[in-house]
Amino acid sequence: MKASGFPKSCRLLKPADYGKVFDDVQLKVPHRNFLILATPNTLGHARVGLIFSKKNLKLAVQRNRIKRLVRETFRHQQNLPALDIVVLGRQGLTSLDNQAICASLNDLWGRVKTKYRPHQPPGPASSQTAGSVGTGTG
């Protein structure tokens, strides 16, 4: 019945998955209410993890509402690069309504798409210069 769900393959599930993103942040997209950290993965599709603290969102109802909106906007994104993405919440989210949050998140997903540039492997010119460096050691 569901046309597009949110399967486990699209989520960061293990602490090691989160640790990989935090240890090797290659893309950082800041916003007034969110911070997105990302690192490339080899899966061929994007995965998302959520971190919303009690310090910033006091009530569980508030945290769950924001997480639900993040998941929903992520699910509707097309052509996201193969990244492991962690979305962190900042203060001030409770004062926003659902439409403002969705608009902010859609803007952030667009910025992730435009900001991410996959690392190109070194071309033949860089391998030639590495081979021509002095090889004589005394």
CATH number of the domain where residue 96 is located? 3.30.230.10
N-term to C-term CA, the chain: 72
The answer as to whether 4 is a domain residue is: no
The answer as to whether 132 is a domain residue is: no
Overall number of domains in the chain: 1
Residue with tokens 């979305």: 87
Cα–Cα distance list, 138 to 12, 129, 135 (Å): 51, 21, 10
Out of 22-26, 39-43, 127-131, which region has the weakest mean confidence (pLDDT)?
127-131
Contact present, 91 and 56 (Cβ < 8 Å): yes
The answer as to whether 102 is a domain residue is: yes
Among the listed residues 36, 33, 29, the one whose alpha carbon sits nearest the alpha carbon of residue 104? 33
Range of the domain at 39: 10-117
Cα–Cα distance list, 85 to 10, 32, 60, 122, 123 (Å): 10, 18, 22, 26, 28
Cα–Cα distance list, 32 to 44, 58, 63, 89 (Å): 30, 18, 17, 9
The answer as to whether 135 is a domain residue is: no
The pLDDT confidence band at residue 123, using thresholds 50, 70 and 90, is very low
Give 59 or 78, the one with higher predicted confidence: 59
The answer as to whether 62 is a domain residue is: yes
- Measured from the Cβ of residue 26, the count of other Cβ atoms closer than 10 Å reads 14
DSSP 19-42: HHHHHT--EEEE-SSEEEEEEE-S
Q: What is the pLDDT of residues 46-58, one digit of tens each?
A: 999 999 999 989 9
| Section 102-131 average pLDDT | 72
Residue with tokens 């997480």: 67
Among the listed residues 91, 96, 90, the one whose alpha carbon sits nearest the alpha carbon of residue 65? 96
